[in-house]
Structure 1
Amino acid sequence: MSDPVRPGGARAAFSARNPAFWVVFALLIAGGWRIAQIGGRFFGAYPVATLTAIGLFALLAVPFWLFVSELDFLEREPPSLRVLAFAWGGLVATTVSISGSTALENLIAKLGSTRLAADWGAALAGPTVEEIAKTLGVVAIVVIARSQVNSVLDGVVYGALVGLGFQIVEDVVFAIGAVALAGQGDQIQPVVTTFLVRGFLAGVWSHTLFGALAGAGIGYLVVNPDRTRRHRIGMACLALFGAWASHVLWNSPLFRDGLGNGALALLAVLVFKGLPPLLLILWLVRRAHDREAAYYVAKLATLRDPALITEQELRVLGSGSRRAAARRHAAAQAGRRARATVRRLQRAQARLAVDLSRGSTSEPAGAPDTPAASEVREHRARLEQLGHPEAVEGVPSWRHTASTVGTTVVAIAVVWVALSALGGG
């Protein structure tokens, strides 16, 4: 089995001398111009509602952005490429899908029937155009910055950010469409309702999730050169099909009326349609993260220098939950400054692991002389001054467990209130 990581050179995210960069740039400009035209019409007709929609969905994007960006802790994607992925989804994929989905729905009506188009048009046309358009965003990143896609997890992150950009812009469009459909002028109530349904309730397992699944396939295609081309393309197509099928299920009229109109019935439909793809992508992320972590931790283990990383820190660094536990333990033992320093130490250790994987240091094992190694020593010295020299996890705290349970209960309560407010119970 090949390594889960295909090391790339320590160089810029992409080069403007690459002709593909200018093709992508032109597509972003064209998409941005089209979205600006749509936004201008919205502001002209419904200025308050449009501003409210942009504000609400922009706020929704922040936690999703932070969560997705943290998925690949050990080798974070360059900010410029994360922004590019988000912009592709919000500007290019949306503009292609607006016209493409309408054309495909019309084709379904002509080849099938108007009844078929009314019932299944959105479930068949939308996913077909949208998932292809979003996946091409990950392909674009591979073309202009191949060295920055060196694990399946990279594909997941870029795909999720493409999906997030698409979801935010599409939701704003739907929100203003709801205002127009209500026919009561520049009102924000339809915007808030759309935000609760399409953003708050459906956001967890919507376009961000579908994009992540397709992106995982592109990542697999790129980082497994030992596999045959047919096998890699087949796996990428299978991932794209999974994203498409999940999207079709989500848009389908299945169970539209079969479970009643109560809050519990609506929640059951959301879970039935959204939970399978959510569990699948969580499994893929966990598997990809563990394999990547094992690769980088093995690189750090060759140093055998406790000033850079200890045996216990090796175990902690490879797990997201253990990294978080180590930060909580530092805060409990030595205060908030120690917590922040532990996080910085973990970041520096991760960068050092990437340096080692790229062979960017020719120093003897155990004594690398890189900026990352200097950062590790600097943060280690600060921790020692704070009386907490090692970034290790402590004994599991009942307070953290209680906090997790409490947060879950509050989340369920908020979902229930939202469903009830929408007329569910």
Structure 2
Amino acid sequence: MVQPARSSQPAPDGSGWEHLMIYQPDAPSPRNVTRRPLIRRVLVWSAVLTVFALAALVMGALLTESLGLVTVGLALATSTLALGIVVPTFLWVDRLEAEPARLLWFAFLWGALISTLMAIVLNELGVAFFGGLHEDPLVIGAVVVAPVTEEVAKGLGVLLIFLVARREFNGVTDGIVYAGIVAAGFAFVENILYLGNAYLEVGTPGLVGLFIMRCLVSPFAHPMFTVCIGLALGLVAHRRRASSVWVVLLGLVAAVLLHALWNYSAVAAAESFLAIFAIVQVPLFVGFLLLLRWASRRESRLLRDLLTGYGLNGWYTPAEVAMLADPGERRRARQWARQAGGRRAERAMLAFQDESGELAMVRKHVNLQGPDAHWAAREEALLRTITAHRRVFVPGV
């Protein structure tokens, strides 16, 4: 195992690695002597949890009043099954540089509670606004009103993460993941409402039939739409300027149009649903899967390219860089670590992999934005802990 280099020479690409060469990985980390940052975080997250708790009470009351407690419980259990398909898919996309759990929970709860409440109110107002038209209110609501209100409500959650957690929103893959989790939360609660109504109107056959259509045949419907917004925000994550707003608006328009097209094929053209499903919805879903695969491969290439610079300066071996950029090799490395050193070594390998992914994103920020005290401190802290974790599963390095 190659130890961290001590040469003062910069990397061949001239990207400014000199400060790392004089850094001592065993030096103790400086501590923050004030508790103000901790108090601020506690207050902020307490406020966020309070808002989510109030929204959960309101949503629970609305669902119980509309469907009844027993029906809500049955629909809840049924809707949860779809989460077992959607959420793991986005976590799979996010496996190389995992997002913080607190932000993923925020995204899910925003979609499940805030977005759904906003959509309920705005949908009612929108249908009432178009009530004077001589059109079917079901079609107007599904094709005109719902796509706009729901995508705006979901998109606000992704935008909040983009603005507040800018150090964790690093690019296209992050945008896709956050948008997908927000949409998964929204679809989860919406499915409860639809499945509950189907059960009340038709009984078990209605519940099973709608479960097949919404949760098994098209569980990625809402994520497909909202991912357009996340993709747009990811494209401008490293150039946050007013001139980039049009990219985000374009993503919102794409989400709304896809949503409207999907709803039209299911509602307005019910007599030819199967034909439109094959012509419209199946290609959209295939394109969505290709997008996820592209995002995953793109992050793998990015990780390899960024960590190669550290490897040239002795922080990684070529084998480690290759392992870190390949999900299969990462899994095999964790298995090897456990066989060689038990659970402690396996945990160290997992931390080594996770922190290496974050290190690559830190280097991406530095390359795009230039020297910055925060990123320099974060880079040095990660290099220190990465070196410490390596010593657990490869003693003596």
- TM-score category, normalised to shorter length: 0.7 to 0.9
Match of 1:293 in 2: 303
TM-score normalised by structure 1 residue count = 0.69
Query: What is the match of residue 378 of structure 1?
Result: 392
Task: Give the drift of 1:30.
Answer: 4.0
SS at match of 1:114: coil
1:264-413 alignment, distance < 5 Å: 270-280=281-291, 282-283=293-294, 285-286=295-296, 288-290=298-300, 292-294=302-304, 296-305=306-315, 309-318=316-325, 322-325=326-329, 327=331, 337=339, 345=349, 347-352=351-356, 354-355=358-359, 357=362, 358-360=375-377, 370-381=384-395
Spell out the pairing of 1:93-242 with structure 2 (5 A cutoff): 93-110=115-132, 112-115=133-136, 117-182=137-202, 187-204=203-220, 206-225=221-240, 228-230=241-243, 232-242=244-254
Alpha-carbon distance between aligned partners in 2 of 1:167 and 1:346, rounded to the nearest angstrom: 32
1:140 to partner: Cα distance: 1.9
How far does residue 94 in structure 1 lie from its aligned partner after superposition?
Answer: 0.4
Name the aligned partner's letter for residue 99 of structure 1: V
1:83 aligns with 2:90: no
| TM-aligned CA deviation for residue 23 of structure 1 | 7.1
Asked if structure 1 preserves the Cα contact closer than 8 Å seen for 2:95 and 2:327, the reply is no
Report the AA paired with residue 91 of structure 2.
S
Query: Which secondary structure state, in structure 2, belongs to the residue aligned with residue 236 of structure 1?
Result: helix
Superposed CA offset, 1:39-69 (max 9, x none):
33256x350x322221222232134323323
CA change 1:303–1:234 in 2 (3 A) is same
**Counterpart AA for 1:237:** L
Ranges in structure 1 where 5+ consecutive residues have no aligned partner: 4-9, 385-425
Structure showing greater relative contact order (alpha-carbon pairs closer than 8 Å, 6 or more residues apart): 2
Q: In structure 2, what is the equivalent of residue 399 of structure 1?
A: none
Provide the rounded CA distance (Å) in 2 between the counterparts of 1:95 and 1:41: 15
Q: CA deviation at 1:345?
A: 2.3
Provide closer, same or farther for how the CA distance between residues 136 and 370 of structure 1 changes in structure 2, counting only shifts above 3 A. Answer: same
Counterpart residue type for residue 56 of structure 2: G
What is the match of residue 36 of structure 1?
60
RMSD: 3.8
Corresponding position: 1:64 with 2:64: no
Mark the CA change 1:42 to 1:288 in structure 2 (over 3 Å): closer, same or farther: farther
Change in Cα spacing, 1:33 to 1:15, as seen in structure 2 (3 Å) is farther
Structure-2 change in CA distance of 1:372 and 1:243 (3 Å): same
In structure 2, distance between residues paired with 1:163 and 1:235: 20
Q: 1:255 to 1:355 in 2, by over 3 A?
A: same
CA distance in 2 between counterparts of 1:66 and 1:373 reads 30
TM-score (norm 2): 0.73
| Aligned-residue offset at 1:266 | 5.3
Distance 1:131 1:362 in 2: 36
Q: What is the CA–CA distance in structure 1 between the aligned matches of 2:338 and 2:66, rounded to whole Å?
A: 45
For the 8 Å contact 2:96–2:354, the answer to whether it is kept is yes
- Residue deviations 1:119-166, cap 9 Å, x none? 343012111000000010112223433322232322221111110100
- Report the CA distance shift for 1:296/1:273 in structure 2 as closer, same or farther (over 3 A): closer
Q: 1:22 to 1:237 in 2, by over 3 A?
A: farther
The letter for the 1-side match of 2:55 is G
Instruction: For residue 190 of structure 1, give the secondary structure of its aligned residue in structure 2.
Output: helix
Note if contact 1:171-1:194 (Cα within 8 Å) is conserved in structure 2: no
- How far apart are residue 294 of structure 1 and its match? 4.3
Looking at structure 2, the residues matched to 195 and 82 of structure 1 have their Cα atoms a distance apart, in angstroms, of: 25
Q: Deviations over 1:329-353 (max 9, x none)?
A: 986xx69847986786254134045
2:314 aligned counterpart, secondary structure:
coil
- Pick closer, same or farther for the CA change 1:328–1:103 going to 2, 3 Å: same
Moved more, 173-182 or 22-31: 22-31
Relative distance call for 1:368 and 1:292 in structure 2 (3 A) is closer
Contiguous gaps of at least 5 residues in structure 2? 1-14, 16-30, 363-374
Task: Determine the C-alpha separation between the residues in 2 that align with 1:369 and 1:100.
Answer: 49
What is the alpha-carbon distance in structure 2 between the residues aligned to residue 138 and residue 20 of structure 1? 18
Alpha-carbon separation, structure 2, partners of 1:216 and 1:313: 30
User: Structure 2: how far apart are the matches of 1:243 and 1:140?
Assistant: 17
